[in-house]
Each structure stands twice: as structure tokens, then as C-alpha cells.
Amino acid sequence: MILETIIIIIYSTALILIFMYALAQLNLLFNYLSAQKKQDKAPKFDFSNPDEIPLVTIQLPVYNELYVMERLLENISKIDYPKDKLEIQVLDDSTDESLETTVAHIKVLQLTGLNIQHVLRDNRNNFKAGALKEGLKIAKGEFIAIFDADFLPEPNWLKKTIPFFKDSEIGVVQTRWGHINRDYSILTKIQAFALDAHFSLEQVGRNSKGHFINFNGTAGVWRKECILDAGNWEGDTLTEDLDLSYRAQLKNWKFKYLEDVETPAELPVVISAARSQQFRWNKGGAENFRKMMWKVLKNQNISAKTKLHGLLHLLNSTMFLNVLIVGVLSIPMLYIKNEHIHLRMYFYMMSFFVISTVIFFICYWFIFKKTYGSSLKSFVQYIGMFITFFSIAMGFSLHNSIAVIEGHLGKRSDFIRTPKFNINSLKDSWKGNKYLKKNISLNVIFEGLLMLYFAFGMYSAFIVGDQGGDFGLFPFHLMLFLGFGFVFFKSITSKV
């Protein structure tokens, strides 16, 4: 009975935390919808006046980007901005043959009159954060635009973002990520689905009410003064962008999010690359919760609601741990429920996961229909996409939970870059990519075992109870079975 009580308490706590997060998402949806009715009246630089055009530095932090460097440099060279007001830094930590081809390409661009520098350093200390900090030492720009190697900003990108810095309190302007290979596979579709929700629902929902948001590591611009005032880049977490964002906002710098400015980028097409990216994001989020929690709570300049949203924001990745706990314990809970009839009313009252799922369903629909419309056909497509997304997200819960636990415990790990592919259609192949890992993680084996565990959960629905089974959790276990199965088999097959 003691074990059963412990299971019930842990299960219930995880459900309540997920429910609280869902309510926060619902609040962000209301914020998002109200923000759509407002017109932006912020002061802007007059680009017709040469004296108002500020000097901008574009930083391109790269490391062994053999497949996308040429595309990146060609794209950045087309940025439409006065040449005497623009400098480009290629912050190159590469150790492979891409270094030589990048040198040659930069020389060609320099002959066109483009102010582009190849910035090298002797070590990779602090990884991307260290490279950005090193480049900042010699950056001449008042504003620092940052693009990862797989991002392709439009030529007028700076003219759409820099004007907002006319407001001297704005420290960052962040744009929305687009997806050049959204429809490549189920994996890219669900990544795009999740990122769209983050960039519209969460970023707009928080920013419109003055709550903290984060610079997303790329496709944004910093005021150089803001970076320095906030303490500069630090490499003690895997998400240096989230870290600096919070330190800047705690010092009262304002962030501006531009939903209408899209910056196209490439999504990982192989699950091992997606796993690497997910691990870094989720562990970094937990690390920043450890680092920033008390700073947020003690700050006297922000409201209680902003503090609450800030903490939930920093705990985003921890939701994967709660989902894993609920999933794993739901099967013993199924047996406990049917062995103790007097507890059944309690279980009905604890249907928070169903309510939370409905809230997520509603929130994501508003974002989906903005892109695809609100027709019946779109809604049917959305139902399929939501179920697929939800299932695969739960399939990632073990992998991401390990990242979260390591982050909360303070276990350090290297910054592992996400392999880039330069793949846009099914005609392109990723199998020759030299940066892909060849080994299979032990975590993948456990994901296969969890797939079988949830198959047992579905079987249990037929055998528990005296009334011919209990199928209340069957859809949940089916999604977990499919999610872990997808992640397991994709992880195995992506190694061949």
C-alpha cells in the first residue's frame, strides 16, 4: 500500500504540473489573439536619411559546415545594406576541409568590395558562446546580427529589423524562423509544427504583455551595448542564447519579436540530428532554470505574472520529464484503479491530462489555421498532424528527460552542433553526410523497451477490471506505443 501511495502521489504531481503548464499556454493564446488586433506604432530609423543608418556587424558562427557554407556565404553577400555601414564576421572554429573552401570563398567576396572577415581562434573554448564573444571584441557595429549556418535571410532582412532599434530601450529584435524543407518527411513536419507554435504562440504571447522571451540563438539582432551591459556571452550552459536573454531582461532591456519577418532555415532531416538538437535545447533549458530561478524571483522590477511566466518558460523542457512520469506510471495506475474501487472517483477527478491535451489542441489549432486556413479539410489535416506530433513528442520524452535531469543536476557536457545537410527534397540524400554519428545510443534500446511496455499497457486494457476491461487510457498508451516505436525504428534505420 505504501508503494501504491507513492505512485499515486508522483503521478498526481506530474499531472498537476502539466495542467499548470497547459493553463499558462492558454493564457499565452489569449495574449496572442489580443496582440493580433494591435498596430505597431514603435519609432523607427529613417533609412532615407544616411545619417540615421547605423553600422551593423553580421556574425556567422560556424563549425565544420562543409555542406552549407557556400550557400550561407552566397546568401549573406546579397544582404541589401549600405556597404560602408556593414561588416560580416565569419567566426570559424572549423577543423575539417571546410576551412580551406571557406577561406577561398571569402577572398572572392572581398574582391567585390564586401567587408567580410574570417575570424579564427586557437581553441573552441565555450563553443558558440566563446566564438561570439571573441568576434564581439573587434566588432565595429552598433548592432550585431547573428545567423547560424543553415539560415537564409532575405536581402531586405536588416532593413526590416534594424529600424526598431530607434527605441533606445530595445536590446534585441528577434524574427520568426521559417522552414525551407517543412514537407520533406514526417520528422520535419512535426518539428515545423512545434517550432511554429513556439514562435507564434509563445514568443508573441509573452512579448505582447512584456513577459520575458528569448533570443533564439540566430535570426535576430542584438544591440552591442545590451550584450555588454548584460555581462556578455557565457558558456556555462548549452543554451547561451537563453542565458544572455534573461540576464539582459533582468537589467530592464526590452525585446522586440517580429512575427511578420520570417527567416527561412533548414530543419534536421535525420532523427540523430534532431536528437542532438533536442538534447542541447532541453538540457540548456534546465541549466538556465538552475542559473536564473532565484534571479527571476528576487528581481524587484518585474511583476509576479512575469515571474511566473518566466519560471514556466525556463521549465519548458521539464514538461518532458513530467510526461514520461505520467506515461510510465499510468500502467500501474490502471491496475491500482481497478483493485481499489473506492479510488475511482479520485481518478475521474484527476483527468488533468485529458484537459491539458484539449487545451494544447485548441492552442495549436489557432497557430495552424493561420498558415493553412480554417476549412474543414484543414481541420481534418490538423487533427492528424496534432496526434502525430503529440505521439512523437512523447516518443522523445525519455531522451529529453535524460537531458533535463542532467541539466538540473549540473552535469556538464560539450556543445554538440546539429549536422546540416543542404537537403530540400526527397531527391537529395543524407546518407553520405560525414558528420552523422554511426553508433547507436543505449537510450535507443530503452526506447524500444518502452515501446513494448506500452504495448503491454494496451493489452492491460482488455484484462483489468470485472466489466470487460478498462479502455480509458488505451488511446494514451497507443500514442506512446507509436511515438516510442517511431523514435526507436527511425533511430535504428538512420544508422544504415
Catalytic positions: 93, 241
Q: Which has the closest alpha carbon to 178: 261, 264, 75, 269?
A: 264
Q: Largest alpha-carbon pair distance within the chain?
A: 81
* Positive/negative CA dihedral, 162, 230, 141, 134: negative
**CB of 73 within 8 A of CB of 102?**
yes
Question: Residue 123: how many CA atoms within 13 Å on its side-chain side?
Answer: 3
Helix (H, G, I), strand (E, B) or coil at 173: strand
**Which DSSP string do the residues of 77-110 spell out, in sequence order?**
TT--S-GGGEEEEEEE---STHHHHHHHHHHHHH
- C-alpha 171/C-alpha 230 separation (Å) is 10
Say how many C-beta atoms besides its own lie within 10 A of residue 266's C-beta. 24
**CB of 446 within 8 A of CB of 398?**
yes
Q: What angle, 0 to 180 degrees and rounded to 10, lies between the N-to-C axes of helices 318-339 and 376-395?
A: 90
- C-alpha 216/C-alpha 198 separation (Å) is 11
- C-alpha 145/C-alpha 416 separation (Å) is 22
**Exposed, middle or buried: residue 486 (CB in 10 Å: 0-12, 13-18, 19+)?**
buried
**Strand order across the 143-146 sheet:** 116-119, 86-92, 56-62, 143-146, 220-223, 170-179, 254-265
- Secondary structure element (H or E) that encloses residue 223, with its range: strand 220-223
| Helix (H) and strand (E) counts in the chain | 18, 7
- C-alpha 392/C-alpha 264 separation (Å) is 24
Strands (E) in 93-203, as ranges, are 116-119, 143-146, 170-179
Helix (H, G, I), strand (E, B) or coil at 58: strand
- C-alpha 63/C-alpha 176 separation (Å) is 24
Cell numbers at 233, concatenated: 556571452
Cell numbers at 256, concatenated: 522586440
